[in-house]
Amino acid sequence: MDNNRLELLLQFYEEDSQDPFNAYALAMEYLNKDTAKAKVYFDTLLEEHPSYLPTYYHAAALYAALENLERAEALYQKGMQLALQQQNTKTLQELQRAHRQFLDEQEDW
């Protein structure tokens, strides 16, 4: 993780925590290095900005990786529903593919 980039993202978040992109950028920055912190920012987005569609793909994948399968399923479902409402076909297709893969992986267990 690039500390300069992280410091800059934290500064942006402190300056405007109501902009969902600032929380999303932090969640993505932490995703591969500190999943606990990534989860905090994804949860913040889901609670405070539930219509911010980019959150759902990565948050669902994180919950699946953390083996919170019920939460992952709920996030995939909510994300697909939101993508339909927002008429965002590309994101809907990405979520559907990720959801199918998630379900296939559950069958393998």
Q: Distance (Å, rounded) from C-alpha 36 to C-alpha 104?
A: 26
Q: How far is CA 106 from CA 23, 67, 73, 80, 89, in A?
A: 30, 10, 11, 19, 26
Backbone φ and ψ for 71, nearest 5 degrees, come out as -65, -40
Name the pTM for this structure: 0.91
CA 56, distance to chain mean position in Å, is 4
Query: Mean pLDDT by 10-residue block, N- to C-terminus, for the chain (109 residues)?
Result: 86 96 97 95 97 98 97 98 98 98 87
Q: How far is CA 25 from CA 8, 19, 78, 92, in A?
A: 11, 10, 21, 21
